[in-house]
Amino acid sequence: MKLEGSMYPNKTIYPGFLGQTVLPEGADQISSDIRKSTNGNVQVYVNPLIDQEQQVSTFSHEAYGHALLFLRKEDPSHRDTPGRTGTDKSNDPLEKQIKAREKEGKRNYRKHERLKK
């Protein structure tokens, strides 16, 4: 379900779950805000009900943000990112990585879509 938000006139708002990264045992030593993997591997989940461009953006966010930072042994958690909880305790390296990878994913998706025509 998509909502056209009046606060965001040129942006589609997706309520609910977009994606999630779950990490293996030991991830909680990096950050306590980690969901545990069910099989000992890094697992990335993307909502199949959102449109393809948003799926690409969400995968980029989860895999090339959270999962990649975990594999680099850096903090993969958003913590209390401003605008998420109203505090200023953000994880700037993660936020910068995610923003860049989401943008790259969307750019590549649009390029691929143009080539299909």
Q: What is the pLDDT of residues 33-42, one digit of tens each?
A: 667 888 889 9
Which one of 37-41, 54-58, 81-85 scores highest in mean pLDDT?
A: 54-58
Kindly report the number of other CB atoms within 10 A of residue 57's CB atom: 23
Which one of 6-15, 18-27, 102-111 scores highest in mean pLDDT?
A: 102-111
Work out the mean pLDDT of the chain and round it to a whole number: 81
pLDDT interval class at 32 (50, 70, 90): low
Strands, DSSP E only, in the chain?
A: 3-4, 12-13, 19-22, 43-46, 79-80, 89-90
Q: What is the pLDDT of residue 5?
A: 47
For the chain, the structural domain boundaries read: 3-116
Tens digit of each residue's pLDDT (9 = 90 or more) over 16-27: 689 999 988 766
pLDDT interval class at 91 (50, 70, 90): confident
pLDDT interval class at 55 (50, 70, 90): very high
Q: How far apart are CA 111 and CA 85, in angstroms?
A: 35
Token output for 19: 């994606």
Q: How far is CA 86 from CA 40, 45, 66, in A?
A: 33, 26, 21
